[in-house]
A and B are shown apart, each in its own frame.
Chain A
């Protein structure tokens, strides 16, 4: 990392430029298919944050994305690319549903703890196999985690259509509804004066997501384990030389990553659907990649990026209703462009901005003594594990 950029430019200005570029290109796509991009943007923004109804959904989606984004970010710190969020979150949903279906839990406060354990455990277990194969056999974790997404989806179809299906309930592949006592209070129950409707999906797991952000911050920057994870991510040979076991770090980082992603189920399965359906994830695992990249793998950045993507998802849903011939996959395009600009074409934006800052600077400032690890730690020299 060069010192050409002040910190605020690195963590605010560059993501902002990347986001604007992504939005401009998506706007061009919208214009190309013969729609008005400005109208689309205004529908998107109004739909996302223009009403309590919109906010309820925006924050609900954001909760999902905080969990998946944090999970991807923790793996990023160890320079592991966990793209298996879809599968891990689906399995997290399974763990959460099994706990809630088969354990007699009297109150939601107990239930959320038990369900979190179940969800985290199952999510971590689904990440464990690719992690083990990467650590021990050097199998490319990107491909194995993607394969585990496909396998998870087949497993879920099997379980929900053959094993967990409720006999005589219309035959739709889903579990029974969880009992009323484990119903999580939603925003209407907690904040009745805010104008949320009774059926708003936003629920107390939003607070759990914020707690997860704090947990990740403490873990990565305030613990020995976090130091080891970052050291391993920055330079594997140096970490090995320092006595850090690569197998241990890969396993632990991926287990935490999978557990965080699995926790998403508390929001989507326990909080909203209140039963396990065939696809409880709805692409949130993939959004986590964009969120982590845009948030520079820092909990605060992940939180803000998750809010942004929550708004995009809710607004995108509205777009489908309001604009003829427009589908919500336009959000996928924006997401792809954000990943492209922040993750892969970063130097395209960074180099000119750095030049601008360098020429604007009147006198050379003394370089910072040691450059502490950037959140993300991926920004300068891009190295990939084979």
Chain B
């Protein structure tokens, strides 16, 4: 593989890792506050659908994106109600949200568009266009560095850069602001936060809502930037892969960037090498497609080091026990 080919694969890995990165940061906020969220997948799917539907209807991708975020926030509210207000089982709530999203997107999609659950193909202003970074063309000629800037970093949709910016932002919020400190505390020891007179319920709801917002961005990116429209079950397990990446990243923002990029790279490689010849044996396409899922299991198996989750994760907080 030559240098241009490598750049091409990294470029595609960056695109494919963006929804994972959004989702991973979404999970990070939620889990750092002590709320497990298996429902990332469903929120991504719901947002992908509504953003594509709205973009197809209005022809404006920004309106689409806001509609997608709204859909994701609605599901996040349900998850918050179930796991914070009514102290239900967070896993079951997440699973229900996933099914709800995969059912509703098809039922509503069929009723609105009659295309078997798809939305119409998006084009023009209904999709996120590619952004060319300044001086991309001028720098392209420089050997080695040029292609990295002009072909790898430049030429993505704006959401890719938003996702990348979310990483330092998340780091800053969590470790440099009062809100972030409290949010992390509520995931480790909610009773202490409660004693300090800060609302556990409020903080957890805030975290769940940030999670909804970021999942909404992931879905909108998936349907209006990465592809041109919504297809049934298009999230394809990305919410779960993001959760695995989160564990791999040990619930830290910068590590999340690396972990999700790894998964994106794997998916890009699977797309690029549909069937791979290795030592005379042809590796089937299906194996290459299953590779991200297999890696997820390997990572969860802890072959890459021990990950300690937030201590109060998954437990509803009961005041005055």
Contacts and interface: CB of A to CB of B under 8 A. Distances in A.
B102 A143 contact: no
Given A137-B301, A157-B286, 19 more contacts: A35-B111, A143-B243, A143-B296, A147-B240, A154-B286, A154-B287, A154-B293, A286-B99, A326-B110, A329-B110, A330-B103, A333-B103, A339-B96, A340-B97, A343-B93, A344-B82, A344-B89, A345-B81, A384-B90
Nearest to B88: A344
Contact of A384 (B36, B114, B289): B36
A39 to B, nearest CB: 15
Given A344-B83, A346-B88, A378-B89, A162 B284 contact: yes
Given A151-B294, A154-B290, A339-B96, A138 B88 contact: no
B139 interface: no
Nearest to B303: A137
Contact of A81 (B91, B98, B107, B287): B91
A339 B89 contact: no
B101 to A, nearest CB: 8
Interface of B: 36, 38, 78, 81-83, 86-93, 95-100, 102-104, 106-108, 110-112, 114, 117, 237, 240, 243-244, 247, 284, 286-287, 289-290, 293-294, 296-297, 300-302, 309, 313-316
A347 B88 contact: yes
Contact of B99 (A29, A81, A339): A339
A33 interface: yes
Given A154-B287, A339-B92, A146 B103 contact: no
A361 to B, nearest CB: 24
B260 to A, nearest CB: 15
A76 to B, nearest CB: 10
10 contacts: A137-B300, A146-B237, A147-B294, A157-B286, A327-B107, A329-B110, A329-B117, A382-B87, A384-B90, A386-B314
Interface string A326-361: 110111111111011001111110000000000000
From DSSP, what is the main secondary structure of chain A's interface residues?
Answer: helix
B53 to A, nearest CB: 12
Contacts of A129: 297
Contact of A33 (B92, B93, B98, B107): B107
Contacts of B296: 143, 147
B119 to A, nearest CB: 15
A-B CB proximity, top 8 nearest: A332-B103, A343-B92, A344-B93, A336-B99, A340-B96, A33-B111, A333-B103, A336-B100
A384 B103 contact: no
Interface centre among B92, B98, B247, B294 (most CB of A within 10 A): B92
A29 B88 contact: no
B91 A327 contact: no
B107 A384 contact: no
A148 B297 contact: yes
A347 B86 contact: yes
Interface string A145-161: 01110110011011000
Given A137-B301, A345-B81, A384-B314, A155 B290 contact: yes
A147 B289 CA distance: 12
A143 B88 contact: no
A386 B309 contact: yes
B300 A143 contact: yes
Contacts of A112: none
A293 interface: yes
Nearest to B243: A143
Contact of A83 (B36, B95, B111): B95
A116 interface: no
Contacts of A35: 111
Nearest to A156: B286
Given A143-B243, A327-B107, A382 B97 contact: no
Contacts of A147: 237, 240, 244, 293-294, 296-297, 300
A326 B97 CA distance: 21
Nearest to A333: B103
A289 interface: yes
A347 B82 CA distance: 9
A198 interface: no
Nearest to B113: A325
Contacts of B301: 133, 137, 139, 144
B265 to A, nearest CB: 18
Contacts of B83: 344
